[in-house]
Amino acid sequence: MSRSYGGRSSVGRASGCDPEGRGFKSRRSPFLVKCVALQFDPVWENPTESRGLIVDMLARAGDLSNALVVLPEMAESGFTNNPARVADGKSELFACAQSKKYGCYLQHGFAQARGDSFVNMVAIADPQGTIVARYAKTHLFSPTSEHAHYQAGDSVTVAKLALATSATHSEPAQKISSHDIAKVNPRRALQSNDAVSVAPMICYDLRFPEVWRHAALAGAELFTLSACWPAPRADHRRALCIARAIENQAVVVACNRVGNEPNTSYAGESFILSHTGQVLAVAGDTSEILTATIDMNEVRAWRAKFPALRDMRRELLGHCTIKDC
């Protein structure tokens, strides 16, 4: 069940159908994962007030036990080029307090100091109130000079999270150890049944499929995309997300923001996609809580049946590093 915020609510469920129409269904016991996207309008360059909106949405979201909850990019401030004004060092503490309160995995987006610069960051806090994954945006948006104000990340994150919401065996949250992608055994990575391998991405990263592919080869079976994606290019985001889901045979939870900034407007339209690119739930253009329940065993069964990832010629893909963050 999902409760509405701002008068809207959407809920979806993965169907498990073969995308080529042959009626494929997994025969395994379900491994159900609840995914939630909190779409809202952050208060411009005001972390305190933005956190208040997040607190209110979480309180309205219903049962979030062990759910994966995703917030937009820069959820505390909007897409600002003034990181020193909004990076107050409290973002991770806030995320941990909320994830512990609601017993969920919470992916939070914010600006964070790194050395003498800043990064555009997402962090995932677990139900015990501990940060278990961090990812710094690797592709900075040059049309708005993001690269002049932030430092780009240099690695992809894949975190194993114990997301099962039914009586399914799952291990405590853990992260994949730092390693070079060339050392990954994709057959072994894709067959892990202990937890869900999650790869967080941020906005403009969507236009660079190679980093998604590296994450998939490292075991990622669910991608999150926190975004401040402008309204004029909304069709691009939808098309590219569907492509990322299909080509990587992975679930995509895409959380966008709504509202306006000094030079940009946002249409929201957050959505949750199945591993075959099916739209399970989609939001409108106002603040909204979006929910879908995914059977991860259907994702794994489809990967085993249709071996596109195993057939990939990895030597043509190049180099990427997967790190503990």
The per-residue pLDDT for 14 is 56
Q: What is the mean pLDDT of residues 129-153?
A: 96
**Dihedral (C-alpha) 262, 264, 270, 276: value to the nearest 10 degrees?**
-150
Token reading at 105: 């995995």
Kindly state the average pLDDT of the residues 237-250.
98
Task: Note the maximum CA span of the chain.
Answer: 55
Look at residue 28 and tell me whether its pLDDT is greater than 70: no
The Cα–Cα gap between 204 and 210 comes to: 13
- Exposure class string for 293-309: b at 16+ Cβ within 10 A, else e: bbbbbbbbbbbeebeeb
Residues near 62 by Cβ (< 8 Å), separated by ≥ 6?
Answer: 1, 2, 3
With cut-offs at 50, 70 and 90, classify the pLDDT of residue 236: very high
Q: What is the DSSP string of 123-178?
A: EEE-TTS-EEEEEE-SS--GGGTGGGTSPPP--B--EEE--B-SS---PPPEEPPP
What is the model's pLDDT at position 243?
98
* Residue range 91-128, pLDDT digits in tens: 999 999 999 999 999 999 999 999 999 999 999 999 99
Characterize 92-111 residue by residue with b for buried, 16 or more Cβ atoms within 10 angstroms of its Cβ, and e for exposed.
bebbbbbbbebebbbbbbbb
Tell me: pLDDT of 45 over 90: yes
The mean pLDDT value for 128-144 works out to 96
End-to-end C-alpha distance for the chain, whole angstroms:
33
278 Cβ neighbours under 8 A, 6+ residues apart: 14, 15, 17, 19
Q: Write down all domains in the chain, each with its CATH number in brackets.
A: 9-322 (3.60.110.10)
pLDDT at 170: 38
Q: What is the DSSP letter of 234?
A: H
DSSP secondary structure letter of residue 42: P
**pLDDT at residue 25 in the model:** 54
pLDDT of residue 10: 52
Q: Are 139 and 288 in contact (CB under 8 A)?
A: no
Checking if the pLDDT of 324 tops 80, the result is: no
Question: What mean pLDDT is reported for the chain?
Answer: 86
Place of tokens 């990622």: 220
Identify how many contiguous H helices and E strands the chain contains and give both numbers.
7, 18
Distance CA 205, CA 200 (A): 10
- Which range, of 44-53, 102-111, 175-184, 268-277, averages the lowest pLDDT? 175-184
CA distances from residue 295 to 27, 31, 36, 61, 321 in whole angstroms, order as listed: 11, 5, 14, 21, 29
Token pair, residue 269, equals 């339209």
For residue 236, what are its two tokens?
A: 């691009």
Q: How confident is the model at residue 323 (pLDDT cuts 50, 70, 90)?
A: low
pLDDT over 70 at 185, yes or no: no
Segment 310-319, tens digit of pLDDT: 999 888 888 8
Residue for token pair 């307090």: 97
Six token digits for residue 255: 């959380």
The residue that leads in pLDDT, 250 or 12, is: 250
pTM, whole model, 2 decimals? 0.85
Predicted confidence (pLDDT) per residue in 142-172, tens digit: 999 999 999 999 999 999 999 987 445 433 3
Supply the pLDDT for residue 263: 87
